[in-house]
């Protein structure tokens, strides 16, 4: 065996092992420029142990037993590969990791089941699963998004491990042996990245530097999305859009599912959408954006130009003989599959998509069936022996199956940028591999309108965030089966606080737009969709943070409270940013639940009531109430209600302040749509809160960046049971008003261009 150890960035160590005497040139679908920076660590050899030291990280290799251990800067062992743990059997690489007694494992992309993956077996193989819970498929081990990256947490210290190998992998995490994690891959070499930690944000920063970060999305993508398989005609789509406006339920995006096409031919509109361009313009006029679904399968039809061009260009995946394109049955019937692993094919696809987008003025695309699915193929996908002519030379489908979707999304992104070079694309993908976050947001595929799936969406989305994919969401209301008013109300409450907020359902399921279940459900849905829109400035700043650092927006409790052992066990509630704790009701008929509030003081968002943390509390919640808590010391920006993100110019931002010893908010703004922020046309400002002897103060830091903010006024709302009387801007008195019934003190301050301080008492 040949091995190589290198330091690729601060706190990130790479270990490569190959069966022969030499490592092959590295090939990666996920890791970009980063490996170029690798430096060799210092080596000290003594008593048969080689110690590699690099900037506070130590790797020990016992040359007699072959044991590898990785130590963090405090000397704690965070990853151990016991002697013989790295092996190749029939060319298949295997690893075995020692698990600590209290170690928990998170990540791996999209998984069903509980938050902590210890005790589960997972197979990383992108798979189309109808109804993705273990109650429907008891042996379920694979889902749409496979990411061989895990985070381990023990006694408050975290570390990360990424195996950069796209072949099918199996992870047996603490099963059958409780103290081992066995991982094997069908093909390839061992190429591991160990993230030393111990802080979660550092691990995600390192991992996302390695595999890429989510580009900042356009602001409209953060609004509410409505979808259905399928809104079947131009008339239906326009009526739907008008219904949202008539009922005053905010909405930004309508998704067009497969029935818009001409007999499922990609890049076409069918007869029932004969005036597609006029329809999409009409939607724009009333403030809607559209997303069109794009499947990879191209209908075999010599009269169809996309098909004939693809043949001519030799742009298709080949069957195992290597002589002709492989075919499979998908929605269009007999279909062929573009080979997105090739640069030439991605370029061609990008051109097709770009022409289609420009002709019809479509705003974004969602890529579905991108496993790729083939109804008649083995395991509902292509034969593993099918041949791809990749950027790295010929490969079998088994070698590239897991990256097919990421490469399709890459083409799709290039296409969107070609069509609208000045705008940020919004793309959505069902499948993905490590790095998908660079190309597209993801949704979690075909869940069902089951209470169980409502609950599972929390750990599923949390683990996606921990796997480097911050922009994710589950179909609100559930995709398959029939939703009910109560389920929709609870699901909308939860999904309003997830990064992607889309209601979508199946063609055979009962409709589930917010109004179909009657007045009460409609009012509840409206209320939470409105709240989402009011929270947009908060969300937008969180998105910017995710784009810059890899930090997820939707965070497990332990992200914010890493040293709290109880927080590490909670998987049915979460933090949105560091200020909001969301604890949805997940049971039919449920009117109460236990909520874990970590140490400190919390405020009930609805009543303002103070709740002591460091305990589990029983929280009562009527159907219209989502248990929602605010951490003390938080500053949360709200904006005026809008029916869509571009409806009006926002000139006032309301800053709610919940008292506590201290707090801060990283304010971010830009034009919300263009790429100008890449040239510094954005505005960043730190807002800090501090408590004084008899009052509090906010310090607005110096704005950074060149964006001319439209905001004229900050309306400060201080939550205080004690009567507050005066507010001051620097030395000057401001007009403030205390509302005793609500326990709120309210005053306005102009948005000054330099640093300034306001205080109250």
- Catalytic residue positions, numbered: 368, 371, 446
User: Within 10 Å of residue 388's Cβ, how many Cβ atoms?
Assistant: 27
Least distance CB 183 / ligand MIG (angstroms) = 28
Least distance CB 721 / ligand MIG (angstroms) = 47
3-state secondary structure 369-421: CCCCCCCCCHHHCCCCCCEEEECCEEEEHHHHHHHHHHHHHHHHHHHHHHHCC
Name the residue nearer to ligand MIG (CB basis): 369 or 582: 369
Closest CA to 397 of 410, 408, 409, 383: 383
Q: What are the tokens at 230? A: 């399928």
Closest CA to 428 of 478, 472, 395: 472
Pairing label, strands 2-9, 610-612: unpaired
3-state secondary structure 437-487: HHCCEEECCCCECCHHHHHHHHHHHHHHHHCCCCCEECCECCCECCCCHHH
Least distance CB 331 / ligand MIG (angstroms) = 7
Q: What are the tokens at 322? A: 């290597």
Closest CA to 473 of 445, 436, 515, 450: 445
Least distance CB 251 / ligand MIG (angstroms) = 18
Helix (H, G, I), strand (E, B) or coil at 759: strand
Closest CA to 292 of 226, 346, 362: 362
Helix (H, G, I), strand (E, B) or coil at 251: coil
Residues 6 or more apart from 298 whose CB is under 8 A from it? Answer: 265, 266, 304, 306, 307, 310, 316, 332, 335, 336, 337, 338
Name the residue nearer to ligand MIG (CB basis): 266 or 535: 266
Residues facing residue 289 across a β-bridge: 253
Name the residue nearer to ligand MIG (CB basis): 369 or 724: 369
Name the residue nearer to ligand MIG (CB basis): 351 or 481: 481
Name the residue nearer to ligand MIG (CB basis): 341 or 444: 444
What phi-psi label fits residue 313: left (phi over 0), alpha (psi between -120 and 50 degrees) or beta?
alpha
Least distance CB 144 / ligand MIG (angstroms) = 8
Residues facing residue 615 across a β-bridge: 597
Least distance CB 269 / ligand MIG (angstroms) = 15
Q: What are the tokens at 516? A: 């179909």
Residues facing residue 367 across a β-bridge: 294, 429
Tokens 């690893």 locate to 95
Residue nearest to ligand MIG as judged by C-beta position: 229
Name the residue nearer to ligand MIG (CB basis): 204 or 266: 266
Least distance CB 370 / ligand MIG (angstroms) = 10
Closest CA to 611 of 592, 621, 597: 597
Least distance CB 516 / ligand MIG (angstroms) = 18
Name the residue nearer to ligand MIG (CB basis): 72 or 371: 371
Q: How far apart are CA 429 and CA 255, in angstroms?
A: 13
Half-sphere exposure of 418 (CA within 13 A, CB side): 19
The residues of the shown chain that bind ligand MIG, judged by CB under 6 A, are 229, 257-258, 293, 368-369, 430, 445-446, 479, 504
Helix (H, G, I), strand (E, B) or coil at 560: helix
Least distance CB 308 / ligand MIG (angstroms) = 25
Q: What are the tokens at 95? A: 């690893």
């Amino acid at each position: 065996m040949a091995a190589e150890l290198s330091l690729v960035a601060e706190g990130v160590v790479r270990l490569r092992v190959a069966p022969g005497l030499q490592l092959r040139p590295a090939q990666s679908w996920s890791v970009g420029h980063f490996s170029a920076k690798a430096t060799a660590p210092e080596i000290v050899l003594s008593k048969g142990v080689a110690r590699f030291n690099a900037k506070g990280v130590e790797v020990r290799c016992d040359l007699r037993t072959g044991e590898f251990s990785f130590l963090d800067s405090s000397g704690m062992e965070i990853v151990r590969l016991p002697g013989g743990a790295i092996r190749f059997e029939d060319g298949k690489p295997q690893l075995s990791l020692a698990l600590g007694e209290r170690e928990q494992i998170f990540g791996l992309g999209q998984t069903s089941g509980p938050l902590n993956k210890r005790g589960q077996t997972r197979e990383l193989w992108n798979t189309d699963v109808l109804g993705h819970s273990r109650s429907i498929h008891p042996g379920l081990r694979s889902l749409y998004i496979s990411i061989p990256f895990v985070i381990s947490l023990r006694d408050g210290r975290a570390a990360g491990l990424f195996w950069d190998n796209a072949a099918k992998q199996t992870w047996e995490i603490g099963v059958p042996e409780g103290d081992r994690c066995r991982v094997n891959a069908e093909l390839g070499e061992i190429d591991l990245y160990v993230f030393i930690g111990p802080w979660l944000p550092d691990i995600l920063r390192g991992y996302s530097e390695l595999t890429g970060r989510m580009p900042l999305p356009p602001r409209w993508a953060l609004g509410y999305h409505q979808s259905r398989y399928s809104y079947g005609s131009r008339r239906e789509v326009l009526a739907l859009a008008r219904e949202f406006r008539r009922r005053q339920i905010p909405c930004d995006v309508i998704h067009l599912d497969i029935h818009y096409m001409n007999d499922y031919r990609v890049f076409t509109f069918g007869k029932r959408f004969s005036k597609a361009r006029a329809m999409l313009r009409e939607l724009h006029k009333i403030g809607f954006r559209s997303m069109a679904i794009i499947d990879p399968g191209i209908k075999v039809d010599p009269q169809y130009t996309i098909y004939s061009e693809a043949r001519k260009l030799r742009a298709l995946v080949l069957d195992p003989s290597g002589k002709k394109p492989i075919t499979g049955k998908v929605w269009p019937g007999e279909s062929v599959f573009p080979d997105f692993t090739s640069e030439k094919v991605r370029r061609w696809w990008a051109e097709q998509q770009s022409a289609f987008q420009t002709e019809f003025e479509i705003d974004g695309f969602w890529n579905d069936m991108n496993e790729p699915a083939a109804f008649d193929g083995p395991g509902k996908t292509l034969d593993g022996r099918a041949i791809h002519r990749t950027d790295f030379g010929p490969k079998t489908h088994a070698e590239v199956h897991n990256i097919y979707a990421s490469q399709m999304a890459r083409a799709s992104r290039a296409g969107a940028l070609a069509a609208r070079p000045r705008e940020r694309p919004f793309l959505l993908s069902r499948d993905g591999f490590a790095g998908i976050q660079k190309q597209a947001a993801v949704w979690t595929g075909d869940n069902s309108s089951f209470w169980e799936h409502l609950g599972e969406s929390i750990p599923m989305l949390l683990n996606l965030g921990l796997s480097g994919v911050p922009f994710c969401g589950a179909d609100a209301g559930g995709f398959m089966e029939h939703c009910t008013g109560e389920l929709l109300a609870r699901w909308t409450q939860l999904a309003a606080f997830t990064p992607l907020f889309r209601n979508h359902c199946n063609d055979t399921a009962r409709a589930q737009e917010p109004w179909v279940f009657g007045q009460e459900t409609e009012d509840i849905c409206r209320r939470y969709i409105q709240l989402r829109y009011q929270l947009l400035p908060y969300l937008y700043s969180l998105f910017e943070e995710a784009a810059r650092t890899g930090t997820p927006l939707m965070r497990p409790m332990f992200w914010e409270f890493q040293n709290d052992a109880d927080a590490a066990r909670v998987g049915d509630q979460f933090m949105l940013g560091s200020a909001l704790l969301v604890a949805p009701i997940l049971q039919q008929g449920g009117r109460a639940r236990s909520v874990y509030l970590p140490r400190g003081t919390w405020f009930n968002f609805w009543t303002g009531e103070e709740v002591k943390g460091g305990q589990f509390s029983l929280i009562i919640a009527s159907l219209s109430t989502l248990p929602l808590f605010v951490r003390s010391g938080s500053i949360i920006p709200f904006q005026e209600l809008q029916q869509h993100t571009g409806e009006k110019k926002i000139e006032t931002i309301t800053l709610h302040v919940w008292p506590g010893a201290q707090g801060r908010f990283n304010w971010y703004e830009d034009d919300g749509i263009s790429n100008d922020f890449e040239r510094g046309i954005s505005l960043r400002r730190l807002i800090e809160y501090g408590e004084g002897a008899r009052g509090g103060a906010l310090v607005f830091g110096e704005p950074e960046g060149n964006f001319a903010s439209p905001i004229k006024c900050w309306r400060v709302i201080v939550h205080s049971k004690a009567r507050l009387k005066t507010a001051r801007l620097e030395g000057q008195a401001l007009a403030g008003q205390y509302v005793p019934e609500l326990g709120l003190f309210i005053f306005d301050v102009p948005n000054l261009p330099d640093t300034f301080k306001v205080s109250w008492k």
